[in-house]
Each structure stands twice: as structure tokens, then as C-alpha cells.
Amino acid sequence: MAVKGGSALVANDIVDVKLLTNKRQSSSSNRTAIVTFSSFTKKLNFVTKRKVIKNETCYKDVSISDLLPKASQQLYTHALTLRNVGFCAVYHQNGIIYAKKSMEGVPIAIRGMDHVDSLMKKSALTNRTQITPEDEDITSEEESG
């Protein structure tokens, strides 16, 4: 598959394709396919170009979503608990998990379970104040030292 503004996707880039079936789907309805790429880089390149791909006429009905690896999914699930201590958004984009204290706030890239725990403690202690980018730098210093 060639994509405008990007490199072509070749057969070796895809390791496996599994079609999911649903008894309630008719034969003419859309089907879900889970695609396994040969590398994370190939997957990331494909997923980041999803808007370009959707503009191609032959792919207009294709929905592309990003599934996280198991470890990242566990981290994402743990990060969702940040909503209980005042974070308004926890999401993932291109394999990276982010949290935001406010919709206008700067997204904080979540680096690990300890980072989530640290943000939860800070938020619990200062529930009425907003975590700033400077606080994120302090958090990363705590984790490394």
C-alpha cells in the first residue's frame, strides 16, 4: 500500500492478519481485522499516517485504531486512576500515554507505574493546585535519583 506523504507498506511489514467474526454481523457489513506489524516502527509509521490514509478514496471506510502492547495497556489502566485525583484526561497517542490536569494544560507523558504513583501523591497533597511543567521536571528528577 502506498500512502501519499509517506513510505509504502510492503508485504513483509505485516506479519499476521486476523479477521474477527461476529455472529450478529451480516456478510456485507464491516469486519474487524487485527494486523500484526513486523516492528513497532512499522506500526507507528502506519498509525501516525492514519489521517492521510483516510483521505485515500479506497480507504475512506477503513477505521484505524492503535492497540497498546500488554505492558503499555497495564500502565494505561493504572494511569486512568489519575482521574480520581483531579486529572481531567488520560489518553494514549502513538504508543505514548499522557495525562492532563486541565483541558488547557500541558500533557504529561507517563513514563512508568512509579510516575503515576508520584503524580497521584502530589495531586492528593495539592488537590487544589494545578501541576505545572516545572512539577513534571521535579517528578522526573525524583524518579531518576
pLDDT digits (tens, 9 = 90+) for 78-111: 999 999 998 999 998 878 899 999 989 999 999 9
Q: Locate the domains of the chain by residue range.
A: 11-59, 70-144
Mean pLDDT for the chain overall:
77
Cell of 93: 497517542
Decide if pLDDT at 129 tops 70: no
DSSP H helices, the chain, are 40-48, 50-55, 70-79, 113-125, 133-144
Q: pTM of the predicted model, to two decimals?
A: 0.53
Cell of 22: 461476529
Q: Grade residue 128 by pLDDT with cuts at 50, 70 and 90.
A: low
